[in-house]
Amino acid sequence: MTLLDFIQVILYFSLLIGLTPILGNYMFKVFSGHNHIMKPVFGWLEKLTYRFIGTNPDEETNWKSYFFALLAFNFIGFIFLFLIQLFQAYLPINPTHLGNVSWHSAFNTAVSFVTNTNWQGYAGETTLSYFVQMIGLTVQNFVSAATGIAVLLVIIRGISRKTTDKLGNFWTDLTRSILYVLLPLSILFSVVLVGQGVVQNFKTYETVQTLQGAEQVIPMGPAASQIAIKQLGTNGGGFFNTNSAHPFENPTPISNFLEMLLILLIPAALTFTYGKMVGSVRQGWTVFSAMLILLVAGLSISLYAEYSSNPVFGHLSLMEGKETRFGITNSVLWSTSTTAASNGSVNVMHDSLSPLAGMVAMLNIMLGEVIFGGVGAGLYGMIIFIILTVFIAGLMVGRTPEYLGKKIEAFEVQMAIIAILAPSVVILLFSAWASVSSYGLSSLNNAGAHGFSEILYAFSSAAGNNGSAFAGLNANTVFYNLTLGLGMLIGRFGVIIPVLAIAGSMAKKKTIPPSAGTFQTDNWLFVGLLIAVILILGGLTFFPALSLGPVIEHLLMNNGITF
Amino acid sequence: MKTIIISLKIFLFFTVLTGIIYPLLVTGVAQALFPTKANGSMVNRDNKNIGSELIGQQFDSTIYFTPRPSAISYNPLPSGGSNYGLTNSKLKQLVGERKKHFIEFNQLDSLTEIPDEMLFASASGLDPHISKQSALLQVNRIANARNFGVAQKQQLIACINRLTEKPQILVLGEERLNVLLLNLELDKLK
User: How many CB atoms neighbour CB B4 within 10 A?
Assistant: 14
Asked if residue A95 lies in contact with residue A202, where contact means CB atoms within 8 angstroms, the answer is yes
Residue A539 pLDDT > 90: no
How far is the CA of B162 from the CAs of B55, B150, B158, B176, B178, in angstroms? 20, 18, 6, 11, 11
Instruction: Give the three-class secondary structure for A207.
Output: strand
Examine residue B74 and state whether it is found in any structural domain, yes or no. yes
Q: Which amino acid is at A97?
A: H
Examine residue B14 and state whether it is found in any structural domain, yes or no. no
Nearest to A291 by CA among A355, A353, A337, A357: A337
Asked if residue A333 lies in contact with residue A12, where contact means CB atoms within 8 angstroms, the answer is yes
Asked if residue A374 lies in contact with residue A267, where contact means CB atoms within 8 angstroms, the answer is yes
- How many structural domains comprise chain B? 1
How far is the CA of A188 from the CAs of B36, B59, B140, in angstroms? 19, 38, 47
Burial class (CB in 10 A: 0-12, 13-18, 19+), A3: exposed
Q: How far apart are CA A353 and CA A349, in angstroms?
A: 7
**Which residues are paired to B52 by β-bridges?**
B42
Dihedral angle, C-alpha A300, A301, A307, A312, nearest 10 °: 180
Instruction: Give the three-class secondary structure for A404.
Output: coil
The answer, for B175 touching chain A at a CB cutoff of 8 Å, is no
Distance from CA of A546 to the nearest CA of B (A): 16
Q: Which residues of A touch B61 (CB under 8 A)?
A: 212
Residues A413-468 have pLDDT tens digits of 999 999 999 999 999 999 999 999 999 999 999 999 999 999 999 999 999 999 99
A117 CB-near residues (< 8 Å, 6+ apart) = A111, A342, A344, A461, A462, A465, A466, A467, A488, A491, A492
What does the pLDDT read at residue B37?
97
What does the pLDDT read at residue A202?
95
Q: How far apart are CA B99 and CA A319, in angstroms?
A: 14
Residues B48-86 have pLDDT tens digits of 999 999 999 999 999 999 999 999 999 999 999 999 999
What is the ipTM, given to two decimal places?
0.96
Residues A239-273 have pLDDT tens digits of 999 999 999 999 999 999 999 999 999 999 999 99
The answer, for A204 touching chain B at a CB cutoff of 8 Å, is no
Asked if residue A25 lies in contact with residue A271, where contact means CB atoms within 8 angstroms, the answer is no
- What percentage of chain A carries pLDDT values higher than 90? 93
**Residue A400: band (very low, low, confident or very high) from pLDDT cuts 50, 70, 90:** confident
Average pLDDT value for chain A: 95
Across the interface, whether the CB atoms of B171 and A321 are under 8 A apart is answered no
The answer, for B50 touching chain A at a CB cutoff of 8 Å, is yes
The answer, for A174 touching chain B at a CB cutoff of 8 Å, is yes
Closest-approach residue (CA) in chain B for A220: B40
Nearest to A485 by CA among A452, A461, A454, A457: A461
> Which backbone phi and psi does A417 adopt, to 5 degrees?
-65, -40
Residue B190 pLDDT > 80: no
Examine residue B22 and state whether it is found in any structural domain, yes or no. no
Residues A320-339 have pLDDT tens digits of 999 999 999 999 999 999 99
Asked if residue A94 lies in contact with residue A130, where contact means CB atoms within 8 angstroms, the answer is yes
What does the pLDDT read at residue A162?
94
Examine residue B34 and state whether it is found in any structural domain, yes or no. no
Instruction: Give the three-class secondary structure for A153.
Output: helix
Across the interface, whether the CB atoms of A326 and B173 are under 8 A apart is answered yes
Distance from CA of A280 to the nearest CA of B (A): 34
Helices (H) and strands (E) in chain A, counts: 21, 4
How far is the CA of A15 from the CAs of A53, A139, A404, B164, in angstroms? 39, 28, 30, 29
Nearest to A423 by CA among A374, A390, A354, A355: A374
For the four alpha carbons of A427, A433, A435 and A438, in that order, the dihedral sign comes to negative
Nearest to A55 by CA among A184, A173, A154: A173
Q: Which residues of B touch A177 (CB under 8 A)?
A: none
B92 CB-near residues (< 8 Å, 6+ apart) = A312, A313, A562
What does the pLDDT read at residue A397?
85
Write the residue in A141, A352, A556 that is nearest to B82 by C-beta.
Answer: A352
The answer, for A263 touching chain B at a CB cutoff of 8 Å, is no
Q: How far apart are CA A186 and CA B22, in angstroms?
A: 9
How far is the CA of A242 from the CAs of A30, A218, A347, A471, A518, in angstroms? 35, 14, 8, 9, 51
B113 CB-near residues (< 8 Å, 6+ apart) = none
What does the pLDDT read at residue A515?
82
Closest-approach residue (CA) in chain B for A70: B7
Residue A410 pLDDT > 80: yes
> Which backbone phi and psi does B69 adopt, to 5 degrees?
-60, 145
Closest-approach residue (CA) in chain A for B19: A135
Examine residue B24 and state whether it is found in any structural domain, yes or no. no
- What percentage of chain A carries pLDDT values higher than 70? 100
What does the pLDDT read at residue A123?
86
How far is the CA of A394 from the CAs of A209, A388, A557, in angstroms? 70, 10, 44
**Residue of A325, A356, A446, A553 to mutate, interface with B, max B Cβ within 10 Å:** A325
Beta strands in A440-504 (DSSP E): none
Examine residue B20 and state whether it is found in any structural domain, yes or no. no
Examine residue B21 and state whether it is found in any structural domain, yes or no. no
Asked if residue A491 lies in contact with residue A463, where contact means CB atoms within 8 angstroms, the answer is yes
Asked if residue A329 lies in contact with residue A9, where contact means CB atoms within 8 angstroms, the answer is yes
Examine residue B27 and state whether it is found in any structural domain, yes or no. no
Residues B1-54 have pLDDT tens digits of 899 999 999 999 999 999 999 999 999 999 999 999 999 999 999 999 999 999
A113 CB-near residues (< 8 Å, 6+ apart) = A81, A136, A137, A140, A141, A144, A235, A237
Q: Which residues of A191-207 are buried (b: 16+ CB within 10 A; e: fewer)?
A: bebbbbbbbbbebebbe
Asked if residue A468 lies in contact with residue A236, where contact means CB atoms within 8 angstroms, the answer is yes
Write the residue in B15, B29, B57 that is nearest to A139 by C-beta.
Answer: B15
Write the residue in A54, A206, A242 that is nearest to B49 by C-beta.
Answer: A206
User: How many CB atoms neighbour CB B46 within 10 A?
Assistant: 5
Residues A88-141 have pLDDT tens digits of 999 999 988 999 999 999 999 999 999 999 998 888 899 999 999 999 999 999
Count, residues in chain A: 563
Across the interface, whether the CB atoms of B82 and A69 are under 8 A apart is answered no
Closest-approach residue (CA) in chain B for A560: B87
Residues B143-181 have pLDDT tens digits of 999 999 999 999 999 999 999 999 999 899 999 999 999
For the four alpha carbons of A452, A453, A458 and A461, in that order, the dihedral sign comes to positive
Domain range enclosing B77 = 40-188
| Residues within 8 A of A (CB atoms), B 113-152 only | 116-117, 119-131
What does the pLDDT read at residue A399?
83
**Residue A408: band (very low, low, confident or very high) from pLDDT cuts 50, 70, 90:** very high
Helix pair A139-160, A63-86: axis angle to 10 deg:
170
Q: How many CB pairs under 8 A join A and B?
A: 360
Q: How far apart are CA A180 and CA A169, in angstroms?
A: 16
| Residues within 8 A of B (CB atoms), A 492-551 only | none
Distance from CA of B151 to the nearest CA of A (A): 24
Write the residue in B18, B22, B40 that is nearest to A220 by C-beta.
Answer: B40
